[in-house]
Each structure stands twice: as C-alpha cells, then as structure tokens.
Amino acid sequence: MIASTPKPPYYAVIFTSVRTELDNGYEEMANAMVDLARQQDGFLGVESARNDVGITVSYWRDEEAIKAWRENTAHALARRFGREMWYQSFKTRVAKVERDYGFEIEM
C-alpha cells in the first residue's frame, strides 16, 4: 500500500528492474528482503509494483540509513543473486524527497 512517511526531508531509493525468466526463489528472497529492511534503523516504508517493469521505492530517514542497509550482509548477497540470476537490467536512483502531498477518500 501507500507508505506512511514523515514530513520531508527524507530519502527515497527508487529501484526499477526488468526480470529474467529465472525463478530460483526470487519471490521468497524479495519478501525476505522487505521483511529485513523493515527491521533496519531509519527505514520509513516501502511501495512496490511489477508489470513489464518492476518498481520498488523504499524510504529512509537519511543517507546513513541507506548506507547501513546497503552494507547488510544478507542484502549484499541478495543483490549478487539479483545480478547473476534475476535481473536482466535494473537502475537504482537515490533521491532526497523535498516535498510531498496526498489525498485519501474519507470512508
């Protein structure tokens, strides 16, 4: 769903990817990585969807939190599998969220 993030500024890591046709535990690993990310200090939320292209946006308190997650051993292993098996191509963009606004129907 839509991530509940605090007032900006905070960071977004936009990960866009095209999958190969190999499975080999991709879904399990992807879910495990989201669970693990949620436990990291400075993690603010995540949004994800996939059709022809997959987009996962994770939100973080600051650059230090992103760096610590990048250095997490299990995450580094998952990224290696990603390059070797699961992704035909990907792009990662690190961006500082400067402002945001939203809308929700009152139910």
Shortest Cβ distance from residue 9 to its own copies (Å)?
9
Shortest Cβ distance from residue 92 to its own copies (Å)?
6
Q: Judge whether 93 and 13 are in contact, CB under 8 Å.
A: yes
Name the residue with tokens 């960071």.
11
* Residue placing its CB nearer to its own copies in the complex, 37 or 57: 57
Shortest Cβ distance from residue 94 to its own copies (Å)?
5
Q: Which residues bind its own copies (CB under 8 A)?
A: 1-3, 5, 8, 12, 14, 16-18, 20, 47-55, 57, 83, 87-105
Q: Judge whether 67 and 74 are in contact, CB under 8 Å.
A: no
Please tell me the number of Cα atoms within 13 Å of 7 on its side-chain side.
Answer: 0
Beta bridge partners of 21: none
Shortest Cβ distance from residue 10 to its own copies (Å)?
9
* Residue placing its CB nearer to its own copies in the complex, 32 or 97: 97
* Residue placing its CB nearer to its own copies in the complex, 39 or 102: 102
Please tell me the number of Cα atoms within 13 Å of 74 on its side-chain side.
Answer: 11
| Separation of alpha carbons 91 and 34, rounded Å | 18
* Residue placing its CB nearer to its own copies in the complex, 35 or 103: 103
